[in-house]
Amino acid sequence: MTWERWGAAMERALYGPDGFYTSGTGAPGHDFRTSSTASPHFARALLRLAAHVDAALDFPDPFTIVEVGAARGALLAGLSKNLDTEARHLASRLRLVGVDLAPRPETLDAAVGWHGAVADVRLFDGLLVANEWLDNVPCDVVEQTAAYAAYVEVTATGDERVGDRVEPADQDWLDRWWPIADEGERAELGHTRDAAWVAAVSKLDRGIAVCVDYAHDQVKREAGLLPAGTLTGFREGRQVPPIPDGSCDITAHVALDSVAAAGHLVGVRETVLLDQRSALRALGVTGARPEIALASSDPPAYLRALGGAGEEAELIARGGLGDFGWLVQGVGVGVPAVLARAAQP
């Protein structure tokens, strides 16, 4: 029986030779529902945001959208498909790039670039998108003992034990972002997510970086509302125990405030934190039902509009996708006013 820290176990289980993602087992939209697989309105909203960024950058050529954690390419395909209706002026200048450890999807348009690592991305002007990426960046789990915080170790079958005392740098992160005090209380160390975000944002010469993910904030953490942490698993659309054997997705919520602070180490000029409900409403996703008169004058159009309203409503629903956190950071430019205003109380 081999014991290892949770960070190493996640890395192996998700991205190793037989990993959930690298082996082709994992399927966004099948094992878990994402905004990009739930509705094309998510891609349309991001294209509207891209139009704001494009104008702020004075219409660069090319204007690049890079998606980190692109998985099966659903969002990239949605951006390409909806370009003519949402941002036609970008059509001749737009360059789409996906980044993922998984192989390039066979169905992806040949014009879309693909890299296996953020390090391979060239410096660009435009929009960086990380939708449900950081929650899958491996992180260690720690548990408070009677005397100190210690790393939690795990086997491939999910058995756990308390290991060594946390190292000073990790204790510093805990003290700053997720203090734990009661015996048995757990936390997930977020510095690996911070470092991953810094690496991604450093590829943005000018533009906006958007991280969308399961998130928590310091108010909730310091209030002790997450005593067991957030580590969990997903398989075939259901939440399951996080067994690191490659059979399920393993995820933990993201300390977006810590990630935001890390972004300022690489030239971020402005930061906005808000929830997806507020962000998408500002970008035109309202979930409003069509006028009932349309049902009489054009029944097929009414049904299409009704279906679209339902999809929009899912994206902004309380207790669901609408509760996702959005971290929006500007490099060389400010955050677009449309999102800055939406973040106001």
Q: How far apart are CA 24 and CA 102, in angstroms?
A: 8
Q: Could you tell me which of 170, 147, 214, 198 has the C-alpha nearest to residue 5? A: 170
Which contacts qualify for 216-225: CB closer than 8 Å, 24 or more apart?
A: 216/253, 216/254, 216/255, 216/256, 217/255, 217/256, 217/257, 217/273, 217/325, 218/177, 218/178, 218/255, 218/257, 221/177, 221/178, 221/179, 221/187, 221/255, 222/179, 224/182, 224/185
Does 93 fall in a domain? yes
Q: Does 296 score more than 80 pLDDT?
A: no
Identify the domain containing residue 52 by its residue range.
33-139+190-214+253-286+322-340
Q: For residue 184, what are the CA distances in angstroms to 81, 92, 142, 153, 244?
A: 49, 56, 9, 14, 21
Phi-psi region of 99 (alpha: psi -120 to 50; beta: other; left: phi over 0): beta
The mean pLDDT of 68-74, rounded to a whole number, is: 93
Any idea what the CATH number is for the domain that residue 41 is in?
Answer: 3.40.50.150
Q: Does 79 score more than 70 pLDDT?
A: yes
The per-residue pLDDT for range 227-286, each reduced to its tens digit, is 999 999 999 889 999 999 999 999 999 999 999 999 998 889 999 999 999 999 999 988
The whole model's pTM is what?
A: 0.93
DSSP 32-101: B--HHHH-HHHHHHHHHHHHHHHHHTT--SSEEEEEES-TTSHHHHHHHHTHHHH-GGGTTTEEEEEE-S
At 24 the pLDDT is: 65
> Of 126-140, 280-294, 305-319, which has the strongest mean pLDDT?
126-140
At 32 the pLDDT is: 59
Does 165 fall in a domain? no
Does 334 fall in a domain? yes
Please answer whether residues 97 and 66 qualify as being in contact, where contact means their C-beta atoms are separated by less than 8 angstroms.
Answer: yes
Does 316 fall in a domain? no
Q: Does 137 score more than 90 pLDDT?
A: yes
Q: How far apart are CA 180 and CA 223, in angstroms?
A: 10
Q: Does 301 score more than 60 pLDDT?
A: yes
Does 106 fall in a domain? yes
Percent share of the chain, pLDDT over 90: 76
Q: How far apart are CA 285 and CA 228, in angstroms?
A: 34
The per-residue pLDDT for range 17-60, each reduced to its tens digit, is 989 988 766 555 544 578 888 788 899 999 999 999 999 999 99
Does 71 fall in a domain? yes
Q: How far apart are CA 76 and CA 145, in angstroms?
A: 45
Q: Does 287 score more than 90 pLDDT?
A: no
At 298 the pLDDT is: 61
The mean pLDDT of 289-310, rounded to a whole number, is: 65
Q: Which tokens is 125 given? A: 């002007």
| Residue listed under structure tokens 């409403």 | 281
Does 309 fall in a domain? no
Structural domains in the chain (count):
1
